[in-house]
Amino acid sequence: MKSALISFSVIVSLIILLYLSPIGYVIPGVFKIYGTGHTTAFLDDYKIFDNVVVKNGLTKTKWDHHNLYNQIPLSKEFDSIIKKYKTVAYLIFYKDSLLHESYYLGHNSKSKSNSFSMAKSMVTAMLGKAIEQGHISSLDQKVSVFYKEFSQGLASKLTVGDLASMSSGLDWTEKYYSPVNITTESYFTKDLEKLLLSRKITGQPGKSFKYLSGNTQLLGMIIRKATGKSLSDYFSKNFWIPIEAEEEALWQIDGIKNKMEKAFCCFASNAKDFARFAKLFKNKGRWNGQQIIDSSFVNLSLNPRFENSPNYGYGWWLTYRNNEKGFLMRGHLGQYVIVFPKSDLIIVRLGHKKGPKNEGYYIDEAFKMISDVKQH
């Protein structure tokens, strides 16, 4: 009995020491993620974190159904891919009407899913709006104007445009399955601002692409500081309400004390409303005749900054398939909202696993379906 009590005391002491150590964030991670049987963040984890509401307004225009809505079946091969990679939603919008809509594993049209890094496209859109409204002077505005911690050495050259185009030179390691690294720490920390301001700029800013979640988090902090609004409120007023989102969304925060949104991820919404945001960019920033975001910023966002990195613009991934340019929001575990403007096509795929071909499966099936539509 005595030895058992000693062992228990030792275990408790070790847990306390770990919690107080620089990797103390591992403790909530063990309980919230690994303790629930997952090896990384998961689709419904917004339910176990603190969130703030992104308010929606009136929905005057809902998605029309295509005259062949759900009449063209998915291919048998694709249906097996849907099941294998645990898709929860697959939607195809063709010429601004809903051509195909399928939900799986208990999800439906109103089910919320974690966007993961798809949120980066939303944060970059807010940068464009903040520039348009005069809160930020331009893409060339220095980060040091907002945070003096970035006023020395290489950091003094860092601009908000460098953050949006993933070319900051930030000291950051992008890993999603390791419990001890900066990306994991950012997911569990109770003070995102403190964490980001502790990072250094170790590479030359504005020279080359390197995808780092810390870039978007720092950008989100700057937008909050420049506008004087939380990201949730600013996005709601300038985007979520104007595009007539059907449902309110949730955005994970670092905690109820600081209420800093996880700008690099974690915007929970449904498939149809994610598609609305993509439609805004497909239509060059216009919604029902109103210019929501400047078309020149949309164009800039959807073109590569660096010739040797043609797959990324400002906050959006870029692709080329079926002899056509496309762009997409992309998130951990295979969250995709994909747009091919020439074909007037939007594809949404949400799910638990991404598969080796990434978004390729879902693009190929959508193009196959619209080819069938043209033959009717």
Alpha helix stretches (DSSP H) within 85-164: 119-132, 160-164
pLDDT tens-digit readout, 366-375: 999 999 999 9
Query: Hey, what long-range contacts does 298-305 have (CB within 8 A, 24 or more apart)?
Result: 298/128, 301/124, 301/125, 301/128, 302/327, 305/165, 305/167, 305/209
pLDDT of residue 25: 59
Mean of all residue pLDDT scores within the chain:
92
Lowest mean pLDDT across 3-7, 135-139, 223-227: 3-7
What tens digit of pLDDT does each residue of 26-65 get? Answer: 666 666 777 677 878 899 999 999 999 999 999 889 999 9
pLDDT, average across residues 3-11: 43
Q: What tokens does 356 get?
A: 């080796």
Q: If pLDDT is split at 50, 70 and 90, which confidence band does 22 have?
A: low
Residues β-bridged to residue 89: 103, 350
Q: What is the dihedral of CA 24, 25, 28, 31, to 10 degrees?
A: -80
- Element of type H or E holding 83: helix 76-84
What pLDDT does residue 5 have?
Answer: 44
| Residue 180 binned pLDDT confidence (cut-offs 50, 70, 90) | confident
Query: Residue 168 has what pLDDT?
Result: 98
- Residue 367 CA to residue 345 CA, distance in Å, equals 9
Q: How high is the pLDDT of residue 38?
A: 83
pLDDT at 12: 37
Check residue 295 and give its pLDDT.
98
Task: With cut-offs at 50, 70 and 90, classify the pLDDT of residue 178.
Answer: confident
Q: Where are the domains of the chain?
A: 2-32, 45-375
The residue written with tokens 């048998």 in the block is 76
Measured at the alpha carbon of residue 282, what is the angle toward residues 278 and 284, in degrees to the nearest 5?
A: 115
pLDDT digits (tens, 9 = 90+) for 348-369: 999 999 988 889 999 999 999 9
Nearest CA to 272 among 49, 52, 121, 61?
Answer: 61
Hey, what amino acid is at 28?
A: P
CA distances (Å), origin 103, targets 27, 108, 112, 178: 34, 6, 12, 31
pLDDT of residue 19: 45
φ/ψ bin of 194: left (φ > 0), alpha (ψ from -120 to 50), beta (otherwise): alpha
3-class SS at 175? coil
pTM for the model stands at: 0.92
Among left, alpha and beta (phi > 0; psi -120 to 50; other), residue 182 is alpha
Query: Who's near 96: CB < 8 A, 6+ residues apart?
Result: 63, 64, 279, 344
Q: What is the pLDDT of residue 181?
A: 87
Strand partners, 317: 312, 328
In the predicted model, is pLDDT for residue 265 greater than 80?
Answer: yes
pLDDT, one tens digit per residue, over 57-100 is 998 899 999 999 999 999 999 999 999 999 999 999 999 999 99
Looking at the chain, the whole-number percentage of residues with pLDDT higher than 90 is 84
Looking at residue 214, what is its pLDDT?
98
Sign of CA dihedral 299, 363, 350, 280: positive
| Residue range 45-375, CATH number | 3.40.710.10
